Structure 1
Amino acid sequence: MKELKPIIIPERFEYMDQYIKENPKLFPEGFPVNCLLHKGKTGCGGTEMVLNNERNTIIAVPTKDLIKNKIEPNAQRKERRDYILGVMEGIEEYQIMNYIEQYKVKKIMVTYDSLPKVIKIIAAKGGNAYEDYFLLVDEYHRLFLDNLFRDNAVRNLLNEAIKFKSVTFMTATPVDEIFIMEELKYLPVQEIIWEGKKRVDVKVIRTNSVMEQVLSHIGFGMGIAVPEAQNLHFFVNSVSFIASVIKKQQLTPNLARIVCSNTGENKKKLGEEFEISTTSSPVKKFNFYTSTVFEGSDILDENGYTIVVSDGNTSSRIIDISTSMKQICGRIRNSKYKYRVDYICPYSKTLDQPFDEYLAYTLEEMDKTQKWVERINNLEEENRKWEINIMRKGLDQTYIRINESSSMLEVDKNKYMLDLYNYKKRCELLGKDWDVKSNLIYNDYIVSEITSVTHEKTPSINLLAKGKVRKCFKDYFEEYAMLKERREKENTISFHFSRMFNLQEERHQVLEREYPLVKDAYEKLGVDKVRNMKYKTSNIKRELKKLANLPDSKIVIDYIKKRYSLPCQLEVSTWKEILDNIYHVELGLDECTKAKATDLNKWFVTEYGYIKKEKVTTDVMTVIREKSIIEGQDLMNDIE
């Protein structure tokens, strides 16, 4: 990729517009255009600059919350809906048309998903968005990070963006060059270096229990250890985690504010007592944020102290140092503690696969997939369409997609790079203290200290009965139903019984984690229907498959990927037990169906080896990554 000469902004400048106004010859269009703009720091006013200049502009952002943050009032400005149009839910086409007619200078903020719609409406009103508007794709690193879940939205935005005469992809926190999307590599990189940039001082707290450490921080915050005027702002990308913290600490709405995506599922997790807030709502003693506001949002709290919570249980909970954490450190714009951050993360851990080896496996898998796709695409048209139609239902389109217009297969290399990125995050998070410190220093932080804190873990409840007695689906389902009913009554129980209900909630979560079929049957079919079906798992699974429309292979893959961070090395016998559980509990197959660890070779890239424990050699298997192509017929269909 081509890199332009860096723009070096002297110390006396705090915002981009201050420097650009003094150097207009460097920016003929009033802003760096037709580039990947790495603006160097958060809060430097890049988005504000294009919102306030005299040029027709479309700003594409990753979330509707970011749009709300920019147009809603706060302590520093009035509401701006009168001249900035935010295209999100509730905005009809006629409102967009009326806005285009009414305003001479147009400022339209859209989510990535909405850009094509706005372009069409501009054309319907006789305009040409590609010629008449400047397009700013803000927080463009999210195009890569969200690609797995918003594939169509990302692809449609990229297809439209390249048609604009003037377009800039901007971020304060670019990903490494290897992870920049293939579709963006035609643009040069324009870096901004701020001579007066102040470094953030990070206190790293490594612990055996991230949850207990967060509870400890809140406990101190409620006591005399934290100044009364200091408010704690927790950035943790999990609503379930936040809900657990609130329950365990018995936090009330007057003490806690939660800012996350306003969805029915999140409301259900938080309960009726707590409402989902916005960044412009009143600050409270304890404030919790998910990734919906990690980028671009303005949080105002002079007494706000930032605490970043990075949990290695899933890739979405890892707050990586090079990208997400840089964004978070700039969120509280006016805090007296702006340059101090606590970073809570797990103890170091020896990973089952070094990053270099995982990289090699991934590149090999991508190469195999590319050759397979080329073989299919090189068939005669009639044979190619016939092959693709046969595989259409069972094809896992995570890494391979069907181009409907050409009836050709395409490999999505960005998805492979996202796998690498997520594993790189895990390697960085779980590295030794020196590795974490080096990574922070490399990313321009000051590391004031690294401390280790051990918490006594609450004894977990054994899910499976000891001995040879095996509980059946009916037992698990009825227990889960009972816990759900008790949970609804929890608010009426006195405070003195709260610990008992914490234990019930723990059991409730264990059941959900280990036996998703129980949860799905309860939520999607209901208690009465399951009882009428005599708890027969094959019938339950068949009904759920009708609702979910998922192939069996996907169920197996999703089950393992959700519960085990890949690459994952376990004894061969353990993998067999896991598959046995999937076959008989999740899929409801007959007891005569036998699971073999080698079944995993169908869905995953695996590696066999052995380890020695107390002079005894034990066979192990490392499940490295998901395969792009499922070989042969679907195993689950064969079994059924």
Structure 2
Amino acid sequence: MTKEIFGVYEGVTKDDVIDYLYSDVKFKKIMVTPESFSKVKDAIEEVGMNLYQDFFLLFDECERIIQDVSYRKTITLPMDDFFLFKGKAFISATPLPPSDPRFKKKRFTELHVVPDFDNTIDLELMPTNNILLSLKHYFSHHKNDHYFIFLNSTDTIASVIKTLNIRTESHVFCARESVVKFRAINLNIANQHFENKLIKKYNFFSSRFNSAVDLKVAFKPNILIISDLTRALHSKVDPLTQVVQIIGRLRNGYNNVTHITNLKENLVSKTEEQIINYLEGCESAYNTIKALRQAATTEGARNTLDQCLELVEYAQFVNPDGSKNYYMFDNEIHSNRVNGYYHNAETLKLAYEQTNRFKIKFKPQEYLLDDIHNNKLEAGLSNIALYRKIAETLLKIEDADNALNMNAFIVRAQLQKMFPDICDAFRKLKYEGMAELNFSPGKIRDAVYKITTDKEKKHFEFLQLLNIAFNIDKVYTT
């Protein structure tokens, strides 16, 4: 029996679509990605049906066309056809208004569905300067048999799994290319499709699962969203759209929701007015070059000006036919707005509050070792810089104000696990001793060895004195 709804995904051909159109299904329903829309269009035309009159086009999760267009250029392919349909709709639970003037020209009406009940979401917001240490804190205070962790960075996912030693309890759901990447680093725990049989205690999801995919499970997991701006800027999420969509994936409910993120004060964030003024200036210059190209009379001039048109930054804001790509304009404005949220903990908290969708439990965390330096330690500083940085961090921990601080204890334990030799040197030489040796690893190792052998020598001499002073098997009284 033919399915009522026909899905067009990778591997489905135009002929497959034609077979469905000829089937006995009375009301044809076709689900397709923007990139595969041409297969459906060609198939409908080939069977003699009228695409624009016989079908209604519903563009769901419509904010994605704005959010994804900067790296997914072909997502806008159906839009010229979209406006030709007699029946059409552009919908989402979390829409972003497009600036494409055709919506006004076609007299689109905005319809807002407002619930008559309280649908605000309880969310714990945990800004931090150390993602891994905050994760350890989170898992120790938010016990559950299942965690659904949304993190759009394969590098950070791999780092979390390895550092927390949870490989046998983890599974990753991500794009096919990322599956290959995980296997290349000997983590054979990734799949591109979600299946209940693959679920583990810690389940990681890349951004392809942030929307449009239903995650139906028989339990209520903890939802954890992680943004790691020091490793991957693209892991930040928009509270108004992406966070709401992520939570909506759990159709059968969830236990609680937490967002752990680091911050970046110098993240570029221009106002909408600044962006429009800048891009309009770029557009004017682009059109000037374009006019020169059209007026060029020699092959050399035309080729040179063609290269200019292709290489200028503004070229990405132009459609293949030379028209203005309004969705790229919208993307630039949206991206800068979201960047501004992550400048500091208060701006992110305010962004959540202004959505009117959340009840925020604000729990900022700060550690003596931050993500920037932690990443440098993992990546490999020069040996001298590495010794200096760890010694400086251990010195801070020894400070009287930090001596009994739980965060200091956690950082010390983390450094001891990662760099036991350097921590041992700090205990024996102290910061001043290491500094006198200019943090030279070779000189420090020699100094530690001398202290150790001198101590062992003293122990040996002490044992010799004991043997001289006391006889074995003889009882001595005080």
Residue 371 (structure 1) aligned with residue 284 (structure 2) = yes
* Equivalent residue number for residue 289 of structure 1: 205
Report the RMSD for the aligned CA atoms in angstroms: 3.3
Assess, with a 3 A threshold, how the Cα gap between structure 1 residues 216 and 370 changes in structure 2: closer, same or farther: same
* Equivalent residue number for residue 97 of structure 1: 18
SS in 2 for 1:95: helix
SS in 1 for 2:253: coil
Shift of the alpha carbon at 1:292? 0.3
2:175 is aligned with what amino acid?
S
How does 1:230-245 map onto structure 2 within 5 Å? 230-245=145-160
Query: Residues 71-125 of structure 1: CA distance to partner in whole angstroms, max 9, x if unpaired?
Result: xxxxxxxxx9833221111212222111111122212111110112211111101
- After TM superposition, the score normalised by the length of structure 1 is 0.53
Assess, with a 3 A threshold, how the Cα gap between structure 1 residues 462 and 272 changes in structure 2: closer, same or farther: closer
2:349 is aligned with what amino acid?
K
* Equivalent residue number for residue 306 of structure 1: 223
* Equivalent residue number for residue 56 of structure 2: 134
* Equivalent residue number for residue 338 of structure 2: 425
1:239 is aligned with what amino acid?
T
Shift of the alpha carbon at 1:466? 7.0
Assess, with a 3 A threshold, how the Cα gap between structure 1 residues 352 and 214 changes in structure 2: closer, same or farther: closer
Assess, with a 3 A threshold, how the Cα gap between structure 1 residues 195 and 432 changes in structure 2: closer, same or farther: same
Answer whether contact 2:69 2:75 (CA < 8 A) is retained. yes
Query: Residues 283-336 of structure 1: CA distance to partner in whole angstroms, max 9, x if unpaired?
Result: 321111111011121112322111111222344111111111111121111125
Correspondent of 2:259 among 326, 340, 343: 343
SS in 2 for 1:392: helix
Task: Point out the more displaced range, 155-164 or 366-375.
Answer: 366-375
Residue 259 (structure 1) aligned with residue 173 (structure 2) = yes
Shift of the alpha carbon at 1:279? 2.9
* Equivalent residue number for residue 164 of structure 2: 249
Shift of the alpha carbon at 1:197? 4.2
Counterparts of 2:327 and 2:312, CA distance in 1 = 13
SS in 1 for 2:194: coil
Answer whether contact 1:85 1:107 (CA < 8 A) is retained. yes
SS in 2 for 1:188: coil
2:82 is aligned with what amino acid?
A
How does 1:169-184 map onto structure 2 within 5 Å? 169-175=90-96, 177=97, 180-182=99-101, 184=103
Counterparts of 1:343 and 1:203, CA distance in 2 = 6
* Equivalent residue number for residue 481 of structure 1: none
* Equivalent residue number for residue 202 of structure 1: 123
Residue 390 (structure 1) aligned with residue 314 (structure 2) = no
Query: Residues 178-233 of structure 1: CA distance to partner in whole angstroms, max 9, x if unpaired?
Result: x6445545433221111124211111111111233234434x2xxxx5545x4111
* Equivalent residue number for residue 247 of structure 2: 329
Shift of the alpha carbon at 1:137? 0.8
Assess, with a 3 A threshold, how the Cα gap between structure 1 residues 463 and 371 changes in structure 2: closer, same or farther: same
Looking at secondary structure, tell me which structure has more helix per residue.
Answer: 2
Which structure 2 segments of 5+ residues have no match?
A: 386-414, 420-478
1:126 is aligned with what amino acid?
G
Answer whether contact 1:303 1:336 (CA < 8 A) is retained. yes
How does 1:40-59 map onto structure 2 within 5 Å? none
Shift of the alpha carbon at 1:413? 4.6
Answer whether contact 1:260 1:277 (CA < 8 A) is retained. yes
Shift of the alpha carbon at 1:162? 1.2
Counterparts of 1:430 and 1:269, CA distance in 2 = 35
Higher relative contact order, structure no. (Cα contacts within 8 Å, ≥ 6 residues apart)? 2
SS in 2 for 1:322: helix
Answer whether contact 2:146 2:200 (CA < 8 A) is retained. yes
Which structure 1 segments of 5+ residues have no match?
A: 1-79, 468-498, 504-640
* Equivalent residue number for residue 319 of structure 1: 237
Query: Residues 334-358 of structure 1: CA distance to partner in whole angstroms, max 9, x if unpaired?
Result: 1252xx31111225x54376644xx
How does 1:109-124 map onto structure 2 within 5 Å? 109-124=31-46
SS in 1 for 2:363: strand
Counterparts of 1:159 and 1:384, CA distance in 2 = 33
Looking at secondary structure, tell me which structure has more strand per residue.
Answer: 1
Shift of the alpha carbon at 1:441? 2.1
Counterparts of 1:384 and 1:415, CA distance in 2 = 32
- After TM superposition, the score normalised by the length of structure 2 is 0.70
Shift of the alpha carbon at 1:260? 1.0
Counterparts of 2:273 and 2:252, CA distance in 1 = 45
Counterparts of 1:145 and 1:164, CA distance in 2 = 24
Answer whether contact 2:293 2:305 (CA < 8 A) is retained. no
Shift of the alpha carbon at 1:363? 2.9
* Equivalent residue number for residue 42 of structure 1: none
1:139 is aligned with what amino acid?
E
Assess, with a 3 A threshold, how the Cα gap between structure 1 residues 385 and 329 changes in structure 2: closer, same or farther: farther
Counterparts of 1:284 and 1:173, CA distance in 2 = 30
Answer whether contact 2:124 2:361 (CA < 8 A) is retained. yes
* Equivalent residue number for residue 355 of structure 2: 443
SS in 2 for 1:400: helix
SS in 1 for 2:167: coil
Query: Residues 493-513 of structure 1: CA distance to partner in whole angstroms, max 9, x if unpaired?
Result: xxxxxx99989xxxxxxxxxx
Counterparts of 1:256 and 1:235, CA distance in 2 = 13
1:327 is aligned with what amino acid?
Q
Assess, with a 3 A threshold, how the Cα gap between structure 1 residues 200 and 180 changes in structure 2: closer, same or farther: farther
Answer whether contact 2:2 2:20 (CA < 8 A) is retained. no
Counterparts of 1:384 and 1:240, CA distance in 2 = 52
Answer whether contact 2:63 2:94 (CA < 8 A) is retained. yes
Query: Residues 574-629 of structure 1: CA distance to partner in whole angstroms, max 9, x if unpaired?
Result: xxxxxxxxxxxxxxxxxxxxxxxxxxxxxxxxxxxxxxxxxxxxxxxxxxxxxxxx
Query: Residues 21-65 of structure 1: CA distance to partner in whole angstroms, max 9, x if unpaired?
Result: xxxxxxxxxxxxxxxxxxxxxxxxxxxxxxxxxxxxxxxxxxxxx
Answer whether contact 1:231 1:286 (CA < 8 A) is retained. yes
1:319 is aligned with what amino acid?
V
Answer whether contact 1:212 1:455 (CA < 8 A) is retained. no
1:159 is aligned with what amino acid?
D
2:258 is aligned with what amino acid?
D
